[in-house]
A and B are shown apart, each in its own frame.
Chain A
């Protein structure tokens, strides 16, 4: 039996800084900084919004039995392609798609092609064993082409009753259209289609598209006009043809003049083999022209109102050292909104701002609902909470309508507004139902923890059940073709986000219970550690996700470390995790580890990733150029994960980055320390606490779980902030929560972290109420 020696418990005294003015000053400073960044950046942005022609995809006719080649196209005869790509990152002949019977098959040529879990090696490597020759494509499939010059992701779109095949770009290409001071495109932009067009030595701006026209479309160039906020493409005729058309117009059979293509903002048209749309930001509003970017600031005000109302009026959403925590979170969210708002000006991620606000809304709503004490036996308290929530709901609803509706009320009828409202209603009801279910499960579980007689059979059941559930979930994800996420009809479930609280609460509760087994404690801890490692290893094996697995491993360690007084098992676990982590890093041959620890030759090998990372670091080094900072397309898409720290430094400058860096420390340190101190401050000596307090199992479990989550997320934040700036720290693919503009980032930060902490912080009171 392991000889674990426990240390004597000693409750901490209340931290004098818990109510100190310094925390309020610091919190106020963070809030002021957040307000300053938001106001200055949003108003500056609005003056720099470009109109754009957006290349959203490629289209070709593909009758049954035929094949089409796609790629950038080369000068050689065997390198010409049926559908030339605009993006120079693509290889000459990237891939081919053929139509055989009712199905479509994709074959790799110069580039590697990844379809779902399938991978087709480039043509010259196709002899490798196990590599398929071709993979089937169907409507809605996503695939990626990866070559030495870059990569591109596409979504397949196959219109019914048509031979058309459309490939939608995951990252559309944007080209600005200039306007003069009067808002008109007087010189007109010239749009030329052809595999090797040359710019003309004239004053007009030009867009050169590598595109073939389909049969019967002799027009090769257009002139773009942006009058009346619409984009019009006028076909540009050859000298002789123009004259002939005029002459013929006087005869008996005048040929129809080429009709201009009209695009309203957001509309699409197929021109040549390209699908283009028109991005325009000035819209009519109550008879005036409004630059919608200015409204971003109003959206933000709405978001702040939402959060404020939710947290002030909502039931019992409180954290230790709440003002500082709230101000830090406010600073993080503000920075994220500015970055995602700026991204809206430089698509392809123009929808992120609204998505971020939406998920923020749902998560705050969820947080409020999570705190309704269902376990309460006191009718009035529960009824009061429900009434407050009921009063809150219309406010949420109105604010959400404001956030989610488009900025062109004149172009949307009442029916559109009604439909949007109904959609929001159902979404809110769904969130409410899910929150209530979570709440009910959480309280049942906590009550069960408190009341259970921890017999060995119960221990085994408690240890095995979550493990089996985790294994089944991971295996089901793998079977469904996913890796780190399970995609179901209701959406995408990110496994590490789901599994982290499960592992932490599972291990915390089990380890806490094991402490009551006296002489058997060490063995139980060993078994818990092994099962925990099994869960983490199982996830890593099936997902190939080093970042997510390391997060789970950290959570496992912290949960065990904080839930027991024994030393040996946590030390063994730490040793296994460190050695195993390095082993996995060594064996997995991941580009991320190679870039961090390999020599410059690895940079050559993983050129794309290295360039991306290096551009991010360069951007950070040039920090503080704000809107003037041109962010390459390769880097722009990474504001949802590792490279976010470089964005913060590059966009806001090193001073703001230093504030944010410190704010993260203040946030996690005070959340952790405050949680510990608040627990101790509410502890009444002689009440139930005797070192093995039966009644306090749930509280202690919540404390350990909350503390573990804080430490795990703090480790993640410090790692992610460092990784994009310091070469020797490997990238993880994880988020900087909640700045990273992703659903997972907000969900983890607000629901998982703050939800757990507020439960741990207020659980005592809830129990007292009962």
Chain B
């Protein structure tokens, strides 16, 4: 009965089966895992949104997805059924019940991603007094092999702040609060709390008092520790102002709880570069005072001590990957890194940025307004602060599983270039001095556009414009157009101006594409390097370019093909774009006569224990571009300082409206007699709100501020008390600059 042939067949089939399985497995090894893509569904969702078949937006009746603010939770509720949907008109879109289910799934996933601040998958627009999604951004479900990622345990390189610029004392950190208690600060008690109207910020004092909403207080003061150094003395008081117990001492590296908030105490100590700051008394090399590693829920986690103020500058870990600067450190050879940042200035810049922009959000634009602040040390070129708003809330990024590309986490606005507005006139006038030994410096205090264009034309083409412009507004006239046709254009740009632009002010005359764009950049390099010299070999240059280095600033005179374009560039509009860092550096160059290339790594220690310093070439003399440049430079320094000083006093544009509705000039306050700066606004077509800018010099501090569409425009100026035009809508960058200078002054007091 037995059919042996069949048994033999089965034996052979077994061999074939294994060969086939082996071949399948080998083939699978050669394949890379790709992201999920579904262009049809994405296009279909966009189609449904555009035809209002799906409503995503703030709901008036709880029937739609609610977006209260980007990153806030969305609420999915009752989308229409498949039978109620009107099919798309586009015949190329596949639409059936199954794909409709997929649409719903995708919408939920995108919604969840947006809920946790991981992305902004929808473009929102204000319609009928509520935000509604107008389109879905095509987002791939990008994917990386998590096993190829660097181990999180290896992310242990502590990042510390500048020891050179540090102040002795103790830092007290809480959410949104940084107190620097210094023994040499003025003897005062700095208040902080609801009673003062400040719930967050940076304070520098010898003592501080925190006020709670229930009337209780907490007094913080410095004491001397038995083993040297400082200790924090905390004394709680109840609402009746009676002390609750004898108080307590809290050492560096410890924390305490008060009124539902936790406070951490961190030591600050001045030292030489390479003597890194430690986050208190942990004694471990793993704890720096900007970023360190600790286990949170069992996972090694990078903690940004300064919170959101550094997350978008130095990078966060999202989806198993660390971005930006933190990822660029070669961990196999670096023991720890010290940055030039001053914690008080970095955190203070961020908090003040947020505070400056929040009031303007009563005029929403569909996403948070952005802002940037850069503070440089004019002597050394060190970046003391480089804050961009909005930042990342680290816990949101780490909390939920992300489904989407971390590219959408975005860069800091401080690393992007923006329209410079009238702050570009600093460059224009300074270049005039350097080229011709004289310039229309008188244009600076009133920010005269007419003269600015004339000066720019002379600088760029070597000839006077010699044609009238419209008044007011310095609009282009037919005569000016004719004159441009004669003397202007790409071929007429003077080489000495281009040399000056690129080698002294480090600004490109071209329109640059972003470094990470698919097409090759027109200008090289397309970024400003912040880590140079032998120290650069300890970092991954590609990650630095992607995440840390700011865009190259551009004054694209070579692209000016008409008088109109030239006019706009000369006034800091359109593609005349600068980073706040470059604006601050240009002010430094114009006022000190030095070429400034900012740097951020003060020092690093190698695994072998060697300390390497960075920034040696950050401030240097002008290159030998032309005869007589030195003498013209001296003229420029005196001329610029004098003219820029007038900006800050009555008659200049450097004013703002204080809380008491009074008009304040930035340079008239005590201690600011030697300060100078320049205001700027950059206008948008069909938008009342303008970008507000300011560049400012206080002592050795160079400050540049940019606020996106935060300036309400001229109507406010004529009606300060007008209800619709709040005081924070006029020159908010001026006001912010004032607050920043105040912070610098408190830091400097007693030094």
- Is A703's CB under 8 angstroms from B2's CB? yes
- Is A605's CB under 8 angstroms from B145's CB? no
Most buried by A among B29, B260, B403: B29
Question: How near does chain A come to B722, taking the closest CB pair, in angstroms?
Answer: 34
Q: Please encode chain B, from 1 to 35, with 1 for each CB lying within 8 Å of some chain A CB and 0 for all others.
A: 11111111011011101101110110111010111
- Is B7's CB under 8 angstroms from A727's CB? no
Q: Is B76 an interface residue (CB 8 A)?
A: yes
- Taking CB atoms and an 8 Å cut-off, the chain B residues in 524-563 that contact chain A are none
- Is B305's CB under 8 angstroms from A239's CB? no
Given contacts A238-B258, A600-B36, A605-B105, contact A11 B25 (CB under 8 A): no
Q: Within the complex, which residue of A199, A512, A721, A727 is in contact with B395, where a contact is CB–CB below 8 Å?
A: A199
- Taking CB atoms and an 8 Å cut-off, the chain B residues in 207-249 that contact chain A are 216, 218, 234, 236, 238, 244-248
Most buried by B among A189, A206, A220: A206
Given contacts A239-B248, A692-B1, contact A632 B146 (CB under 8 A): yes
Given contacts A88-B400, A92-B73, contact A243 B253 (CB under 8 A): no
Residue of A nearest to B265 (CB): A202
Q: Is B621 an interface residue (CB 8 A)?
A: no
Q: Is A700 an interface residue (CB 8 A)?
A: yes
- Is A202's CB under 8 angstroms from B253's CB? yes
Q: Is B266 an interface residue (CB 8 A)?
A: yes
Question: How near does chain A come to B137, taking the closest CB pair, in angstroms?
Answer: 15
Q: Is A693 an interface residue (CB 8 A)?
A: yes
Q: Is B60 an interface residue (CB 8 A)?
A: no
Q: Is B372 an interface residue (CB 8 A)?
A: no
Query: Once the chains are docked, how many angstroms separate the CA of A415 from the CA of B264?
Result: 52
Q: Is A718 an interface residue (CB 8 A)?
A: yes
Q: Please encode chain A, from 700 to 716, with 1 for each CB lying within 8 Å of some chain B CB and 0 for all others.
A: 10010001000100110
- Is B255's CB under 8 angstroms from A618's CB? no
- Is A718's CB under 8 angstroms from B146's CB? no
How many chain B residues sit at the interface, stated as a range, is 35 or more
Given contacts A88-B401, A239-B236, A669-B15, contact A601 B38 (CB under 8 A): yes
Residues of A within 8 A of B24 (CB): 722, 725-726, 728-729
Q: Is A547 an interface residue (CB 8 A)?
A: no
Most buried by B among A176, A629, A692: A176
Q: Is A124 an interface residue (CB 8 A)?
A: yes
- Is A175's CB under 8 angstroms from B146's CB? no
- Is A203's CB under 8 angstroms from B17's CB? no
Q: Please encode chain A, from 720 to 762, with 1 for each CB lying within 8 Å of some chain B CB and 0 for all others.
A: 0110011111000000000000000000000000000000000
Given contacts A74-B73, A124-B79, A601-B38, contact A201 B264 (CB under 8 A): yes
Given contacts A199-B395, A621-B145, contact A243 B264 (CB under 8 A): no
Question: How near does chain A come to B406, taking the closest CB pair, in angstroms?
Answer: 16
Residue of B nearest to A55 (CB): B297
Given contacts A600-B37, A607-B109, A722-B21, contact A621 B72 (CB under 8 A): no
Q: Is A447 an interface residue (CB 8 A)?
A: no
- Is B401's CB under 8 angstroms from A149's CB? yes
- Is B75's CB under 8 angstroms from A76's CB? yes
Q: Is B68 an interface residue (CB 8 A)?
A: yes
Residues of A within 8 A of B436 (CB): none
Residues of B within 8 A of A353 (CB): none
Q: Within the complex, which residue of A79, A124, A203, A650 is in contact with B78, where a contact is CB–CB below 8 Å?
A: A124
- Taking CB atoms and an 8 Å cut-off, the chain B residues in 130-173 that contact chain A are 141, 143, 145-148, 151, 173
Query: Once the chains are docked, how many angstroms separate the CA of A206 from the CA of B41?
Result: 42
Given contacts A124-B78, A604-B41, A618-B146, contact A243 B246 (CB under 8 A): yes
Q: Please encode chain A, from 598 to 636, with 1 for each CB lying within 8 Å of some chain B CB and 0 for all others.
A: 001101110100100011011101100100111010000
Q: Is A289 an interface residue (CB 8 A)?
A: no
Q: Within the complex, which residue of B6, B108, B303 is in contact with A562, where a contact is CB–CB below 8 Å?
A: B6
Q: Within the complex, which residue of B78, B147, B294 is in contact with A621, where a contact is CB–CB below 8 Å?
A: B147
Query: Once the chains are docked, how many angstroms separate the CA of A178 from the CA of B294?
Result: 11
Q: Within the complex, which residue of B4, B8, B400 is in contact with A149, where a contact is CB–CB below 8 Å?
A: B400
Query: Once the chains are docked, how many angstroms separate the CA of A10 from the CA of B6?
Result: 11
Question: How near does chain A come to B134, taking the closest CB pair, in angstroms?
Answer: 22
- Is B3's CB under 8 angstroms from A9's CB? yes
Q: Is B499 an interface residue (CB 8 A)?
A: no
Residues of A within 8 A of B6 (CB): 7, 561-562, 565
Most buried by A among B7, B105, B143, B262: B7
Residues of B within 8 A of A347 (CB): none
Residue of B nearest to A603 (CB): B36
Residues of B within 8 A of A75 (CB): 72-73
Q: Within the complex, which residue of A92, A201, A614 is in contact with B143, where a contact is CB–CB below 8 Å?
A: A614
Most buried by A among B37, B77, B292, B296: B296
- Is B295's CB under 8 angstroms from A205's CB? yes
Q: Is B102 an interface residue (CB 8 A)?
A: yes
Question: How near does chain B come to A684, taking the closest CB pair, in angstroms?
Answer: 15
- Is B25's CB under 8 angstroms from A725's CB? yes
Given contacts A203-B279, A515-B1, contact A601 B257 (CB under 8 A): no
Q: Is B399 an interface residue (CB 8 A)?
A: yes
- Is B255's CB under 8 angstroms from A148's CB? no
Q: Is A221 an interface residue (CB 8 A)?
A: yes
- Is B66's CB under 8 angstroms from A76's CB? yes
Query: Once the chains are docked, how many angstroms separate the CA of A618 from the CA of B148?
Result: 9
Residues of A within 8 A of B11 (CB): 669, 672-673, 676
Name the segment of B280-288, B374-382, B437-445 touching the other chain: B280-288
Q: Is A661 an interface residue (CB 8 A)?
A: yes
Question: How near does chain B come to A67, taking the closest CB pair, in angstroms?
Answer: 19
- Is B248's CB under 8 angstroms from A243's CB? yes
Residue of B nearest to A645 (CB): B25
- Is A12's CB under 8 angstroms from B4's CB? yes
Given contacts A148-B105, A603-B36, contact A693 B1 (CB under 8 A): yes
Q: Is A207 an interface residue (CB 8 A)?
A: yes
Q: Is B642 an interface residue (CB 8 A)?
A: no
Query: Once the chains are docked, how many angstroms separate the CA of A391 from the CA of B294?
Result: 58
- Is B141's CB under 8 angstroms from A604's CB? yes
- Taking CB atoms and an 8 Å cut-off, the chain A residues in 80-130 that contact chain B are 88-89, 91-92, 110, 124, 127
Query: Once the chains are docked, how many angstroms separate the CA of A45 from the CA of B244?
Result: 52
Residues of A within 8 A of B29 (CB): 621, 725
Closest 5 CB pairs of A and B: A243-B245, A601-B38, A622-B147, A74-B73, A203-B282
Q: Other CB < 8 Å A-B pairs besides A88-B399, A607-B109, A630-B146, 6 of them?
A: A92-B115, A178-B295, A221-B257, A562-B10, A673-B11, A711-B14
30 A-B pairs with C-beta separation under 8 A: A10-B4, A74-B73, A88-B399, A198-B175, A201-B292, A202-B279, A203-B284, A207-B296, A238-B259, A239-B256, A240-B236, A240-B258, A512-B1, A561-B6, A561-B10, A565-B3, A604-B105, A605-B105, A607-B36, A617-B33, A618-B145, A621-B145, A622-B147, A661-B25, A672-B7, A676-B7, A700-B1, A700-B2, A718-B21, A725-B29
